[in-house]
Amino acid sequence: MRLDEFVDGLERDEAAERRRLAEEKSYEITEYIDRVADRFEDAIQDDTMVGSTSPSVFVGTSNYPAVSTGILSPVGDEDRAGDYVTDDSWYRQGYSIDDVFQRRTGLMNSQQRVDVDAPGRRAGQTTPAVADAWDGMLGAQREVAIAGTPVDVEIGLDGRPDLGVDVDDIAAPTGPNVAAESVDLTENPYVPRPVKKTLEDDDWQAEGAMTYLYRRGFDVYDIREILSAGALGQGENRRLVPTRWSITAVDDTIGEYLRGTLRNATSIDETQVWYNEFMGNRFWIVLTPGQWEFELVEMKAPGSVWNPTVDSGYWLASASEGYEGRTGYVEETAGAYYASRLGVLEHLAEEGRQAKCLVLREVTDEYWAPVGVWQIRESVRNAFDPDGGRDVPGAEIPPTLAGKHATAETFRDAITGLESQLPISIGELRRKSDMVAGIQSQLSDF
């Protein structure tokens, strides 16, 4: 398909894109939090919440290494606990920002403050390190993390919940927090055999254990839970890993593994342009022949999250790597870089090819609240999916583009062909993107 045919019908609607944040933002979440508060009052009796079901865990970053670590559990919706887990199913079901916040505000975070290496230090006790802790709050948390399905728990509370909502740009939002006096499992959880294998091997480095689980069919969402709970790595090195860090660590580790499998792969033989959009984010993915290179350029609209001033220009960020990968953490684009890179590498690994890749992410002002980098990962993954990855009707991506791509003669042609679709000029893009800046000096692109 030619690029001009590919973008036909995707003309930019400037009026729609300039919708103001204050006018368009949904306030259903505020009402939902009020309903959650009522459910808490009904569910909590004598400082104990009985009969809850925990699908996941959370480890904070504040005051590291003395972090808040907790078990997440829905209140009043225990039969659907699995629906509250942040994973690829949220994309397939076409979740909106409201949907994400409603799920996350319905999860109570029952937490204690512990040391990431030796949890007993919080009370001045001498207790086993994380690697050997299977009792109390940490033990229950680790059981939840390694379980194949949500686990029934009984939680003793120390006070009333704080009904605030915490958000950032990597992890999904978190709901009400409450101090936990105790947490007990009321069932023996099912633990998949590959997880048992990694848990029991104290000599296995965390990176190897992560790639082993990935090759055994565990998605990055499952792996990061296990890593976060301190259940991966060499025994003496196991420690709790804040959720925000574990998300990026797993994306990076699996991405590096996939990049390694492509080192000697044949290059693709044509320049391809792929597209997807989700939750007010638009993604253009350009693959062109050559050895592996990757770059992410983010273009954040005025009025969007992290660029809230409506009369400012687009805020641009970028990061890149060459054939040998990176040696340091990406600061400017943070977790978005590793999440988008993973989606591209999974596609190339499936094809058995390598390529140079440029991902252009436009964040429109419809993206008014952060839901976590999972939406970036799934948007890029599903740009290559023939079915668009959606289980329900109403997908934002035009069905004619789902899993299809356009071709261009050169990388230069692909970029110039997209100019009408981008919110910034090619000149602005060239000043921010190493790959676009380099097209003038490469004879093969003329």
Supply the pLDDT for residue 295: 97
d(CA 184, CA 182): 7
Please name which of 327, 362, 321, 363 lies closest in space to residue 342, comparing C-alpha atoms: 321
Dihedral sign (CA 24, 108, 150, 343): positive
Task: Report residue 370: phi and psi, to 5°.
Answer: -75, 135
Supply the pLDDT for residue 98: 86
Would you say the pTM of this structure is higher than 0.85?
yes
Indicate the angle between helix axes 206-215 and 243-261, nearest 10 degrees: 70
Instruction: Indicate the average pLDDT of the chain.
Output: 83
**b/e per residue 306-323 (b: at least 16 CB within 10 A):** ebeeeeeebebbbbbbee
The pLDDT profile of the chain, 446 residues, written as one tens digit per residue, is: 778 877 776 655 544 444 444 344 555 555 656 666 666 666 665 555 544 678 889 999 888 888 888 888 887 767 788 888 889 999 988 898 888 888 887 788 888 888 887 655 444 444 456 666 677 788 888 899 999 988 888 888 877 766 666 777 788 877 778 888 888 888 889 999 999 999 888 899 999 999 999 999 999 999 999 999 888 988 888 889 999 999 999 999 999 999 999 999 999 999 999 999 999 899 999 999 999 999 999 999 987 877 877 777 899 999 999 998 888 888 889 999 999 999 999 999 999 999 999 999 999 988 888 899 999 999 999 999 876 666 555 555 555 566 788 999 999 999 999 999 999 999 999 999 999 998 764 544 44
- The predicted-structure confidence for 202-245, as pLDDT tens digits, reads as follows 899 999 999 999 999 999 999 999 999 888 988 888 889 999 99
d(CA 297, CA 432): 8
Supply the pLDDT for residue 248: 95
Please name which of 86, 294, 47, 53 lies closest in space to residue 182, comparing C-alpha atoms: 47
Supply the pLDDT for residue 246: 96
The amino acid occupying position 385 is D
Q: What is the 3-state secondary structure (H, E, C) of the chain?
A: CEHHHHCCCCCCCHHHHCCCHHHHCCCHHHHHHHHHHHHHHHHEECCEEEEEEECEEEECCCCCCEEEEEEEEECCCHHHHHHHCCCCHHHHCCCCHHHHHHHHHCEEEEEEEEECCCHHHHHCCCCCCHHHCCCHHHHHHHHHHHCCCCEEEEEEECCCCECCCECCCCCCCECCEEEEEEEEECCCCCCCHHHHHHHHCCCCCHHHHHHHHHHCCCCHHHHHHHHHCCCCCCHHHCCCCCHHHHHHHHHHHHHHHHHHHCCCCEECCCEEEEEEEECCEEEEEEEECCCCEEEEEEEECCCECCECCCCCCCEEEEEEEECCECCCCCCCCHHHHHHHHHHHHHHHHHHCEECEEEEEEEECCCCCCCCCCHHHHHHHHHHCCCCCCCCCCCCCCCCCCCCCCEEECCHHHHHHHCHHHCCCCHHHHHHHCHHHHHHHHCHHHC
Decide: residue 269, CB within 10 A, 0-12 exposed, 13-18 middle, 19+ buried: exposed
Supply the pLDDT for residue 28: 55
Task: Report residue 19: phi and psi, to 5°.
Answer: -55, 130
Supply the pLDDT for residue 112: 86
Peptide bond into 65 cis (omega under 30): yes
Decide: residue 299, CB within 10 A, 0-12 exposed, 13-18 middle, 19+ buried: buried
d(CA 86, CA 316): 28
